[in-house]
A and B are shown apart, each in its own frame.
Chain A
Amino acid sequence: MTGPHGPDEHLDDYAPGPPISPNDERLDGLVQFVVELAAGRLDRRMDPSPADDRVDAVTVGLNMLAEELQALNEDMEVRVAERTAQLEAAQHQLERVALYDPLTGLANRSLLGDRIRRAMGQAEHGAAAPAVLVLDLDSFKAVNDSFGHTVGDLLLVEVADRLRAIVADTDTVARLGGDEFALVVLDSGPERVLDIADRIIAALESPILAGGHSCWVGASIGVCFAIRGQAADTLLRDADTAMYEAKTRAPGTVQIYEPAMHSAALSRVRLAEDLRTAMAADQLQVHYQPIVELRTGRLAGVEALVRWNHPERGPLPPESFVAVAEATGLVGTLDRWVLDAAVAQLARWRAGVLGDTPFDLHVNISPMGFRSPRFADDVVACLARHGVPHGSVMLEITETQMMGEDAQTLQQMETLRSAGIGVAIDDFGTGCSSLTYVRRLFVDLIKIDRSLITGLDTDAHQRDVAAAILAVVDAFGLAAVAEGVETAAQAETLAELGCRYGQGYLWGRPVSADTMTGRLRQSVH
């Protein structure tokens, strides 16, 4: 029980003292004392008698044991309190991880769902039904691509702060992921809700300073006013649908959810499904529009354009299903499908009609396709599969979609160009950033947008603009294709200005592969 210097080893000269009488009243006192200690009253003490005998020894011993136990108890209570506080802190930390966005400190999707459910519960007891706002930044990707993710993150934090400053403490601001945010506005009429939406638009109109860069990002907002009894999930879904509507119709605006939007969203989902099926069953067609060398009138190539004759809806405008493909992540598959079909056709033309005649096939590629890490390899593999030389394929990417300079796009462009596959900027003159690509020689060809060609033969100002663009293109040693050429006078003016190629109704609308085969035959022979 004790260490090397313990008491028991040197108590052999201890004399026990006189016997204790069984009637000693102190024994009753001791019994009572022990009962009280056993009941947990460790603060009780018993005074020893002046006899200083063995009964008093027991009394003193019990006093000291009680004191020891009391101290241990108190110590234990302090430790339990400390551990409880630590556990509570850990619990709090876990809750933060589980319910809050670590970057911005805003509520996450899970907490937002809880808040919506709670608000719907309050609405059942007389409060006004809540409104949910979903907002998506309009140019966030460009910020990330141009300045990197660190700046992108700083921007999101600043956006979060601006959103917090606009709503009441009782409202909830959440980050749903990426550049998408949501707000739950409690117990408010439509006027206040729309005022909040307008103030958000205004707050995000001014530039945000992030990491030393001044970033301009607008927001598109969807608003859904709850109906009593509505499920939280559908409320958020409908606000999201309205946001999507805002983004596609007019970015930077507020759209209020209407049931028709949901049917439109459903219709998009169905269209995406149909598109998937159409690609798998080869129900899409590729049409070809001629590209002509202006100086000689020679048919220099064709642009491949996808067409879809939907089994129920009839012919669909490409922009409608391409937009659905982009929104549903199908666009990469669509690009590959068109590329494969067009390259296969080029191989047939080469074998049957064209032989070695110089002829370029232009294929449109979405920016998302360009950012896919395996994109360039897939293109090279496609050409190899059909035995088509690399030099006769030109990939077109739209200028307005080519925002920023993300490393992935640049790398893909470099891989393609070192493999001898051309890259063209489509709709040049409608965007603002692609001069960077031109300057750094990441492209081979510029396609001048039709808006710059219209009126070229009648409007002197338009002619000057086209001349300036062609001078820039020439300065970089690139060739240009003028799009949307409709009159011979336009073609003549373009030729005078040094534009090498033209494309437009003047030389023909997009036609089927069979029709184009006939035309090629005439052109070659």
Chain B
Amino acid sequence: MSFAVEPDGLIRLSWGRGVRITGELARTAMARVDEINGETGHPLLVSMAGTAELTREARMVFGRRCSATRIALVGRSAVDRVIANFALGVTHVPVPTRFFTSEPAAVVWLRKPG
């Protein structure tokens, strides 16, 4: 898992290929996002291409409210799509969250005002 922050505050979270996102990892990631954001909320871009698994516990963690104002999940493969589907569909998401296969499209959506 790695983090980068754009000058306008947009946070990029990249999961390494083949990673199994457990509840523990998810909690660490969300804590880090909260830490970066501080008092102000910013959009979050999650690169999840090649993620091997997203556990139920991790999906529950992502279902809790965090400091991100919007979340874009970016993947490529059918596997990414299915995993994103579960993250978005089975669990209620607290902030606007979408799946993209195009990172530029995701960034545009994240930076869209309102």
Contacts and interface: CB of A to CB of B under 8 A. Distances in A.
Interface in A1-51: 1-7, 9-11, 13-17, 48
B88 A2 contact: yes
B81 interface: yes
A54 interface: yes
A1 B86 CA distance: 12
Decide if the interface of chain A is mainly helix, strand, loop or mixed: loop
A16 B82 CA distance: 12
A7 B84 contact: yes
A411 to B, nearest CB: 70
B28 interface: no
Interface in B21-71: 50, 52-56
A209 interface: no
Contacts of A13: 100-102, 105
A6 B73 CA distance: 12
Interface string B72-99: 0000011101111110111011001111
Decide if the interface of chain B is mainly helix, strand, loop or mixed: mixed
A96 B105 CA distance: 68
A5 B90 contact: no
Given A11-B101, A13-B101, A17-B77, A60 B92 contact: no
Given A48-B52, A57-B82, A64-B82, A5 B77 contact: no
Contacts of B92: 3
Interface residues of A, number: 29
A432 to B, nearest CB: 78
Nearest to A62: B82
A71 B101 contact: no
Contacts of A9: 98
Nearest to A14: B101
Q: Which of B81, B84, B85 has the most CB of A within 10 A?
A: B85
B79 A64 contact: no
B82 to A, nearest CB: 4
B50 A52 contact: yes
Contacts of A48: 52, 79
Interface of B: 50, 52-56, 77-79, 81-86, 88-90, 92-93, 96-102, 105
24 contacts: A2-B88, A4-B96, A6-B88, A6-B89, A7-B88, A7-B89, A10-B98, A11-B81, A13-B101, A13-B102, A14-B78, A14-B81, A17-B77, A52-B77, A52-B79, A53-B77, A56-B79, A57-B78, A57-B82, A60-B82, A61-B82, A64-B82, A64-B83, A71-B56
Given A57-B77, A68-B56, 4 more contacts: A3-B93, A7-B88, A57-B82, A68-B90
